[in-house]
């Protein structure tokens, strides 16, 4: 399959009010798999996606390494990342902070997807949906794996929604 690799880059102040994702929309076309997406040492900041995924809509795999996601917003779900249709996103040594969306302030992860956070921090995210928002994360028939070698890593400091993490449909936790 194809691959999209972005290294030492900045994706800043992008708006896609009527579209899906503010900065990157990685999606399969005509039955093909989405390209594998890699962000290495990138800053993704102040982006807005009007419907889903303030920053990324990934129907496939993504690797985010040594990157900063800051103050991104989704108009519907997933301020930093919205995942659907399977695939895995792996955040390693990265920080996601100040994200906002009605559902899943930082992440909205659906339908068989896996979100993996390794030595990463998710902080100060906001969801505006009272019943099923998840200030930091919305998991719906999806899995989350968190691991840390120590230090200030984890998920904390969210507000709004149904709590820090909202789960439905048999989603998983650490492991």
What is the percent of the chain where pLDDT is above 90? Answer: 23
Distances from the Cα of 84 to the Cα of 13, 16, 121, 174, angstroms: 24, 19, 22, 20
Q: pTM to 2 decimals? A: 0.81
pLDDT tens per residue, range 65-122: 999 999 999 998 888 998 887 888 899 999 999 999 888 888 888 888 888 888 888 8
CA distance 165 to 162: 7
Mean pLDDT score, 3-11? 93
Neighbours of 108 (CB within 10 A): 34
Average pLDDT taken over every residue of the chain = 77
Where b means 16+ CB within 10 Å and e means fewer, 129-159 reads beebbbbbbbbbebbbebeeeeeebebebbe
């Amino acid at each position: 399959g194809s691959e999209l690799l972005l290294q030492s880059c900045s994706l800043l102040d992008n708006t896609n009010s009527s579209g899906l994702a503010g900065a990157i929309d990685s999606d399969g076309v005509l039955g093909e798999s989405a390209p594998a997406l890699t962000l290495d040492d990138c800053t993704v900041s102040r982006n807005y996606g009007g419907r889903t995924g303030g920053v990324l809509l990934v129907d496939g795999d993504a690797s985010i390494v040594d990157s900063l996601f800051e103050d991104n917003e989704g108009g519907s779900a997933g301020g930093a990342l919205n995942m659907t249709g399977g695939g895995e996103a792996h955040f390693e040594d990265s920080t996601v902070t100040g994200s906002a969306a009605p559902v899943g302030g930082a992440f909205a992860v659906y339908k068989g997807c896996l979100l993996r956070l390794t030595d990463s921090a998710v902080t100060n995210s906001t969801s505006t949906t009272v019943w099923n928002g998840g200030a930091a994360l919305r998991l719906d028939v999806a899995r989350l794996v968190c691991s840390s070698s120590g230090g200030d890593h984890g998920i904390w400091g969210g507000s709004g929604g149904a709590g820090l993490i909202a789960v439905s449909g048999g989603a998983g936790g650490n492991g």
